[in-house]
Amino acid sequence: MYAWYDLFTDDKPLITEYLPNNWYTIIVKFLFMIQLIISYTLVIYPANMIVEGYAFKGWPKSKKRQMWKNFSRACVVMVTIIAATIIYNKLESFLSITGSLTCTPIAFTLPAWFHYKICAKTTTDKVIDLTVIGFSLVLMGYCTFFAIVNW
């Protein structure tokens, strides 16, 4: 069975394409679609708030401000649509790059840095924290480099 995306890519179809063609499969696909639509609005909300915070900082509340905010939200959605279209075939590579750039600091660098700033009193604690920070930065660079090379 060929789908529309087979015209554009050589990748495997979504996991839901392997499900049997029953009534409950259609319900699962429909619920998955609804979940994606709802979660997109939840995920894009913080991005819209950040953009609006910078772009409309000193504007008084008016119809003009409201229309420009709606336009900026539409632009954010268009940027995500364009980005999704561009990286569709290489989603795994994109996720590995963003994961190595963002998750490594969250998991290793920031906790060690916070411990260094707040709790580390002895020289041993400070050396351990700085070692973990250095190792995590090297790990982040290593993982990011190989994710870009394997793109």
Domain ranges of the chain: 4-149
Kindly provide the b/e burial profile for residues 89-108, where b requires at least 16 CB atoms within 10 angstroms of the residue's own CB: eeeeebebbeebeeebbeeb
Q: Do 72 and 48 touch, CB atoms closer than 8 A?
A: yes
- Over residues 54-106, the pLDDT tens digits come to 999 989 999 999 999 999 999 999 999 998 888 888 878 888 898 899 998 99
Residue 16 is predicted with a pLDDT of: 66
Query: Is a pLDDT exceeding 60 seen at residue 111?
Result: yes
Q: What is the mean pLDDT of residues 25-44?
A: 88
Q: Do 61 and 122 touch, CB atoms closer than 8 A?
A: no
Q: Across the chain, what does the average pLDDT equal?
A: 87
Query: Is a pLDDT exceeding 80 seen at residue 4?
Result: no
Element (H, E) at 106: none
Query: Is a pLDDT exceeding 50 seen at residue 7?
Result: no
Range scoring the smallest mean pLDDT among 16-20, 34-38, 121-125: 16-20
DSSP letter, residue 46: H
Range scoring the smallest mean pLDDT among 1-10, 45-54, 76-85, 124-133: 1-10
Q: Output Rg (C-alpha) for the chain, integer angstroms.
A: 22
Query: 62 φ, ψ to 5°?
Result: -160, 175
